[in-house]
Structure 1
């Protein structure tokens, strides 16, 4: 039998304000959803342990504030990140359009680390503005795995966090 291995991975979760970063982390780590929006101030760190294959992984999920007023200090939180989750809101095209800027900033301060792109709020299909095809093209350009998620109903949330963990694990 293979020996169990233990890892600690720092993952930054980034994207514009109100795209659902905090809600995605809460859904994954605590199985909860809070409908009321409360902006993250600076950063919030959530720890979640998971088992992947024969590995015990402790994820340090850094929820980075998306509001413009935090732009000048965000890079301080990127240091030491081993993976990244880029998030946009499928109902707000501006949040999708800003993803390349987030990616550029990330690479500048963290290098070419594993990343995934999440199209969040897919439960709001009646007001969706960004198509799956548009997002898949962007994910390919970013060299990122792609998932369509809903923090509200849990759609693909666990799969997305398992994927980023797996991508990081494959690099260690």
Structure 2
């Protein structure tokens, strides 16, 4: 990030790692019961994210007011969506729309394949064994754009876009 700054980047958003313990791939590999996430995977992720947030804070101190680094707390946003999925209009919080919940997790568009596909991807939090759906990404983007310091700090993405060093 310092190198990007040296090359002229002055406004940088750094997204943390989402709740890896909740993705279908990790849940299947660890045989996590339905409706639960891997606590150990999420603890590792949270430890990394805490260090990342401290690093972003330190970069803002070192680089001065002419540069702004924003920490994007995608972990908390996605966890909230998973925990309150019905309030967001989802019907399924932990299973993938495409590919199934067990290995080999194939999500391919070939006729006569063993890949499964849900009827309405907008009702699922996860698209495949690894990635959130477009509907989730829209929610995450909206919260980062206009959210408070719990989701984007020290300022949100809209404030970053308008930020001018004087």
Is the shorter-chain TM-score for this pair beyond 0.5, marking a shared fold? no
More strand by share: 1
TM range (shorter): 0.3 to 0.5
Please give the TM-score of this superposition, normalised by the length of structure 2.
0.33
More helix by share: 2
Please give the TM-score of this superposition, normalised by the length of structure 1.
0.32
